[in-house]
Amino acid sequence: MLVVSLAPAADAANLRRTSGVVILGYLGAGALLAGLVMGGFSALLSFWAGWRETDVFIQVGRRAFYAAAAMTAIAALLLEVALLTHDFSLAYVAEHTDLSTPMPLVAAGFYGGQEGSLLYWTLILGLLGCASLVASARIGARVAAYAAGILALILSFFLFVLAVVASPFDLLSITPPDGLGLNPVLRDGGMLIHPPVVLAGFASFAIPFAFACAALLAGRADAAWIRHTRRFALLAWSLQSAGLLLGMWWAYHVLGWGGYWSWDPVENVALMPWLATTAYLHSSQVQEKRGRLRTWNFGLVILAFLLVVFGTFIVRSGVVPSVHTFAISAIGPWFFAFLFACIVFSAALIAFRAGGARAHVEPAPAVSREGAFVLQNLLLIGVIAVVFWGTILPLVSGMLGTERVVGAAYYERAGGPIFVVILGLMAVGPLLPWRQAGSASLRAIRWPAATASVVLVGLLVVGIRSIPALLAFPLAAGVAATVFTEYGRAFKKPRTILRKRRRYGAYLAHLGLVVVVAGLAASHFAQQEKDVTLRPGETVTVSGYTLTYTGSEQRELQDHTDFVAAMRFGDKTLEPSRATYGGLGGQALTHVAITTTPTSDVYVVLAATGTDGSASFRIFVNPLVTWIWAGGAVIILGVVLGNVGERGAAPELARRRVPVTLPA
């Protein structure tokens, strides 16, 4: 259609470019194929050499993985070059960018579409896989070899899909003079940061999974694999946390419905691996410190990775209705097969190999740090179950009869109570000692309890009667009090904080989560909303904030036309607008105007404009939304301060075998 009609005019330009440029597509496809061969070779050799414990071939297998990762990196580089040089002979480049797209967004086109984002996933898997294998020999030759084999298998699957099913290097029969451009919704700063962080968070959890499975295969049930992959698990968790929050931030600033989370399937499948990883980060400490929960940890790591694969399948196959889906493509069945293979492989491993992982340590009483971790784990898995059921209900009910769906109310009713208990556990758990509940630690609980009570009374006095709010805020305050109690204790001996950086970093992350929870609760329970139509000069007041509509104007920008309706708010001017993109059949896009006051966000959406100069607005006042983003930054800061450059202590069990009675 468009391509054919414009082709003759572009021919001359094409002929000049073709010789140098089409080669790029062939080179890229060749790199992917070479990577696939290397990956397959690495997998076969690593498993065989690991089984025979032949050091030389283990080395060769590992290096073949490096080679496969290098090929992936070359392919990624070639795709980025093709994007930046506007090589529209590649279908991928033509479908996701055009000449008017700003350069940073052209570069971001790399992960803006189905094929490119898969290549990005593979690239991260390859790079982190290399990093995890470099020093892997010290945890045992066999485990290292099996881990290389499993990573190579996963990498090969992705390279196979990229090379055969959904190649980013497919050529168009005729090179168009310009591309179709990136979807307007994605033309935003959020595009530069949210997708790469989320996808990297997904990809990086393959590392703990590979080493866990390798340890099971090799019959090594000790915590060596946990220590070796701890950084990768933390990296995965941090990236997933940042990815979720950035996604919320982006949705909040771009979509214009006043919120940041809509329990869409795509959000759900990103949340579930995060929950499983959170559970694993806590329970793995029980194994590191106490040598317990071995089988459980294998199970959690496997669950987290399966949820990642499940999420990738859901997002890319279009089996569940969502606003986020990629274009319908042929990769759905392949990912389903991959998911199925992963489930069968993991289930077999757990069933046949986990028996030897039983710990021989005397059991701990229920009310102890171990007990708190176990309960927290069970509750997090409960939340996963709630979210999972809500996500697959349309599928299941559709197969059994009429399709049914659940909305936010379901997740709040089913998940809310569990979150409340988890919050309570966060207030109590850190005060409990390992192995036993000492009376000293029970006395420490009075601080969080007192703080929570004061906040509860305060809320009741102010006149708040919503039960969820009356639970969430006091418990969050209790968690904060626990963190401060622990810090207060530690400040008497400041060196403790440095010696136990991991622990105090984790407390900082807890504090960050409290801030996030406060922001979520406040903006959820106390959001104000108002629809209004105004003529120039007229004023509206929403929950104490006064806005004046001053008039509208039209602005021509690089790739779109903006219709701006200006509102005066104090000494600031808010400019909500509607943009129309010429190149895409006149697709419109709302630009929200947000201004932050000390307690609230004032969020203005231009809903419609009248011919008489009037304009209709939907105005939200969202309390404490900025706390969510700030709390997220504190969480990441806690992880970084607690772990970067931290060499990882020797295992507690090996260091001292005498019973520890005080909170360690």
Partner 1 sequence: MTMALRWGLPAVVVAACVGYLIYSASGGSSEYYLTVSQLRSQAPAGDVRVAGVVQNDVQKSDGGLHVTFTAKDGTASMPVEYTGTLPDIFQPGITVVVEGRLSGDGVFHARTLLAKCPSRFSTQPYTQ
List the interface residues with partner 1, window 220-279 (CB under 8 A). 256-257
Query: For partner 1, which residue of 324, 446, 530, 656 counts as binding (CB under 8 A)?
Result: 324
* SS3 (DSSP) at 350: helix
Write out the H or E segment, with its range, that includes residue 604. Answer: strand 600-609
Closest approach, Cβ 235 to partner 1, in A, equals: 26
**Residues found in the chain:** 664
Q: Minimum distance from CB of 267 to partner 1 (Å)?
A: 14
Assess 337 for contact with partner 1 (CB under 8 A): no
Out of 114, 238, 268, 295, the residue judged to bind partner 1 by CB under 8 A: 114
Q: Does 584 bind partner 1 (CB under 8 A)?
A: yes
User: Of the two residues 380 and 634, which places its CB atom closer to partner 1 in the complex?
Assistant: 380
Distance CA 183, CA 405 (A): 28
Residues 585 and 461: their CA atoms lie apart, in Å, by: 56
Report in angstroms how near the CB of residue 172 gets to partner 1 at its nearest.
6
Residue 99 interacts with partner 1 (CB under 8 A): yes or no: no
3-state secondary structure of 491: helix
- Cα–Cα distances in Å, from 127 out to 34, 59, 131, 144, 314? 17, 17, 6, 16, 25
Q: How far is the CB of 322 from partner 1 (least distance, A)?
A: 9
CB 472 → partner 1: shortest distance, Å?
Answer: 17
- 8 Å CB contact between 141 and 53: yes
DSSP for 203-260?
HHTHHHHHHHHHHHHHT--STHHHHHHHHHHHHHHHHHHHHHHHHHHHHHHHT-SS-S
State which of residues 104, 321, 458, 648 lies at the interface with partner 1 (CB under 8 A): 321
Q: Report in angstroms how near the CB of residue 2 gets to partner 1 at its nearest.
A: 8
Q: Which is nearer to partner 1, 52 or 413 (CB)?
A: 413
Instruction: Please give the Cα distance from 267 to 449 (Å, whole number).
Output: 34
Q: How many CB atoms lie within 10 A of CB 87?
A: 24
User: Least distance to partner 1 from the beta carbon of 219, Å?
Assistant: 22
Residues of span 439-468 touching partner 1 by CB under 8 A: none
Stretch that binds partner 1, among 91-99, 269-277, 435-443, 519-527 (CB under 8 A): 91-99
Cα(423)–Cα(417) distance, rounded to whole angstroms?
10
Nearer to partner 1 by Cβ, of 584 and 630: the residue is 584
How many residues interact with partner 1 (rule CB under 8 A)? 74
Alpha-carbon span 322 to 314, nearest angstrom? 10
* Least Å from the CB of residue 473 to partner 1: 22
**Identified binder of partner 1 from the candidate list 20, 189, 355, 363, rule CB under 8 A:** 363
1 binds partner 1 (CB under 8 A): yes
Q: Which of 102, 446, 499, 531 binds partner 1 (CB under 8 A)?
A: 531
By CB under 8 A, is residue 330 in contact with partner 1? no
Scanning residues 155 to 214, which ones bind partner 1 (CB under 8 A)? 172-173, 176, 180-183, 185-186
Q: Which residues contact 633 (CB under 8 A, 6 or more apart)?
A: 512
Q: CA 370 to CA 359: how far, in whole Å?
A: 14
Asked if 55 is part of the footprint of partner 1 (rule: CB under 8 A), the reply reads: no
| β-strand pairing of 600-609 with 593-596 | antiparallel
Instruction: Pick the closest to residue 338 from 117, 152, 161 (CA basis).
Output: 161
Instruction: With contacts defined by CB under 8 A, name the span among 201-209, 336-344, 501-509, 581-589 that binds partner 1.
Output: 581-589
Give every CB contact of residue 183 below 8 A, 6+ residues apart in sequence. Answer: 584
Residue with smaller CB distance to partner 1, 386 or 564: 386
Distance CA 569, CA 572 (A): 5
| Closer residue to partner 1, CB minimum distance, 20 or 407 | 407
Q: Please say which residue, 71 or 386, places its beta carbon nearer to partner 1.
A: 386
Q: Which stretch binds partner 1 (CB under 8 A): 134-142, 281-289, 378-386, 502-510?
A: 378-386
Compute the least distance from the CB of residue 318 to partner 1, in Å: 7
Q: What is the DSSP letter of 139?
A: G
Binding residues among 613-652 for partner 1 as defined by CB under 8 A: 614-616, 618
Least distance in angstroms from the C-beta of 330 to partner 1:
13
Q: Write out the E strands in 259-333.
A: none
List the one residue from 167, 284, 285, 325 that touches partner 1 (CB under 8 A): 325
Closest CB to partner 1 among 306 and 379? 379
- Residue 52 interacting with partner 1 (CB under 8 A): no
CB distance 370 to 361 below 8 Å: no
Q: What one-character DSSP code corresponds to residue 162?
A: I
Residue 224 to residue 603: CA distance in whole angstroms: 50
Report in angstroms how near the CB of residue 568 gets to partner 1 at its nearest.
Answer: 20
Q: How far is CA 655 from CA 90, 289, 646, in A?
A: 59, 10, 18
**Bridge partners, residue 49, by sequence:** none
Q: Would you tell me how many other CB atoms lie within 10 Å of the CB of residue 366? A: 11
The closest alpha carbon to 619, from 535, 539, 542, 536, belongs to: 542
Helix (H, G, I), strand (E, B) or coil at 186: helix
Q: Which of 33, 34, 94, 248 binds partner 1 (CB under 8 A)?
A: 94
Find the helix or strand (DSSP H, E) in which 176 lies: none
Nearer to partner 1, 321 or 544 (CB): 321
How far apart are alpha carbons 116 and 119 in whole angstroms?
5
In the list 385, 449, 630, 649, the residue contacting partner 1 (rule: CB under 8 A) is: 385
Here's the x/- map for partner 1, 387-426, by CB under 8 A: it reads as --xx--xx--x----xxxxxx-xxx-xxx-xx--------
Cβ closer to partner 1: 389 or 491? Answer: 389
Closer Cβ to partner 1, 183 or 543, answer by number:
183
State the burial class of residue 435 (Cβ atoms within 10 Å of its Cβ: 0-12, 13-18, 19+): buried
Q: Which of 192, 323, 348, 654 binds partner 1 (CB under 8 A)?
A: 323
